[in-house]
Amino acid sequence: MAEKRAIELLEAKIQELRELNKMEEIDMSSEIARLAEKLEALKIDTYSNLSDWERVKIARHPERPYALDYIDKIFTDFYELHGDRLIGDDRALLVGLAQLQGKPVVLLAQQKGRSTEENKQRYFGMPRPQGYRKAKRIMALAERFSFPLISLIDTPGAYPGLEAEEFNIGGAIANNLLAMAKLPTPTIAVIIGEGGSGGALAVGVADRVLMLENATYSVISPEGASAILWKDKGKTRQAAQALNLTAEHLLKLGVVDEVIPEPLGGAHKDPQKTVASLKEVLIRHFAEVCNTPLEELLSARYKRYRSFGCYRTLSDR
């Protein structure tokens, strides 16, 4: 996109002028203000009509804030717990205790790597059965001590591999769905990046599902859908559009309760601002669920999931 290049150039220019402004006698603030205005207009032009496929790319942007970036800034005292007590530990799905607003919570966090080395360890953010079962173990802890549970979702999907199949990854996901359906404690899921199919849902059944503006959540990746439905790997843009995988669509479909705004151009353009938005929304919902009687939460959770779907009665035909 030519617009993106123009935005970058303009940003650089403004930065230069700001530096000059500090160092020299000459006052350039009116020039800076004018340029900033232009930049804003250009950004709105460029970003406010992002296609779904462009949002997919933003959701996957390598500089996008990852789970630990939010945990760092929104929670205190994150105390990671390791291991499923069965097979191993998984670095793509972290679990632990933390404080939110002075209250202890259990965190589930899908975490991608920044470097190649880190991505190797974290399997590019694709959890294995070890991760899902670690999550299930920590749900039991949440239940025993009535800790609310908060999931941060950001995964291309569960890890596809021989070992994962040997360790029954499908069964691991299924059992998490069941566990989260019943978990007698308030639960919130936040989709912060990629919500990759069953691999995301396995930690995403909750009383509140929140979603960043440019995050995606889908039954299949646009690449996958393109290959299967169009028998053509290149139809990712159309597939993304067809899948209704953006926050806006998901809000309309009732899958998501609230969309958390991102800075123009995406969360990575201003991580601090993104963190602040997410924190505000999360804390509001957190207070709500914590103040709702558990029976009510569970019954509402049941109704929410029981009612998903859209079909016609045959007399409509």
Partner 1 sequence: MAIFKEKHYLRVKLDKETDESLWMQCKSCGELVFKRRVRENNNICPYCGEYFFLTAKERIESLIDEGSFTDISKPIMAADPLLFQDTKPYPQRIEEAQQKTGLADAIIIGNAAISGIVVVVGVMDFRFIGGSMGSVMGEQICHGMEEAIRNHYPFILVSSSGGARIQEGILSLMQMAKTSVVRARLAEQRLPFISVMTYPTTAGVQASIASLGDVIIAEKGAMIGFAGRRVIKGTIAEELPPNYQTDSFALEHGSIDRVANREYLREELSNVLRFFVRQ
Q: Considering beta carbons, is residue 64 or 128 the nearer one to its own copies? A: 128
Could you give the string, one character per residue 286-315, with x where binding to partner 1 holds by CB under 8 A and - elsewhere?
A: ---------------xx--xxxxxxxxxxx
Can you say how many angstroms the Cα of residue 155 is from the centroid of all Cα atoms in its chain? 8
Q: Considering beta carbons, is residue 44 or 140 the nearer one to its own copies? A: 140
What would the DSSP string read from start to end of 57-102? HHHT-TTS--HHHHHHHH-EEEEEE---SSS---SSEEEEEEEETT
Shortest CB 93 distance to partner 1, Å: 12
The one among 67, 158, 259, 282 contacting partner 1 by CB under 8 A: 158
The one among 15, 51, 146, 299 contacting partner 1 by CB under 8 A: 146
Query: Which of 70, 75, 81 shows the shortest CA–CA distance to 100?
Result: 75
143 CB-near residues (< 8 Å, 6+ apart): 183, 184, 185
Q: Give the phi and the psi of residue 247 in degrees, each rounded to 5.
A: -60, -40
Give yes or no for residue 81 binding partner 1 (CB under 8 A): yes
The one among 12, 86, 229, 294 contacting its own copies by CB under 8 A: 86
Tokens 């859908």 belong to residue: 225
Which partner from the list its own copies, partner 1, none does 122 bind, CB cut-off 5 to 8 Å by kind? none
Give yes or no for residue 259 binding partner 1 (CB under 8 A): no
H or E stretch at 40: helix 29-47
Could you give the string, one character per residue 120-139, with x where binding to partner 1 holds by CB under 8 A and - elsewhere?
A: ----------x---x-----
Shortest CB 82 distance to its own copies, Å: 13
Which partner from the list its own copies, partner 1, none does 225 bind, CB cut-off 5 to 8 Å by kind? partner 1
220-249: which residues touch its own copies (CB under 8 A)? Answer: none
- Give CA–CA dist 11/40, Å, rounded: 10
The answer to whether the beta carbons of residues 164 and 195 sit under 8 Å apart is: no
Q: How many other C-beta atoms are found inside a 10 Å radius of the C-beta of residue 169?
A: 25
Which partner from the list partner 1, its own copies, none does 110 bind, CB cut-off 5 to 8 Å by kind? none
Q: Where are the alpha helices (DSSP H) in 66-196?
A: 67-74, 116-121, 129-145, 162-166, 169-182
Residues that bind its own copies (CB under 8 A): 85-87, 129, 133, 166-168, 171, 175
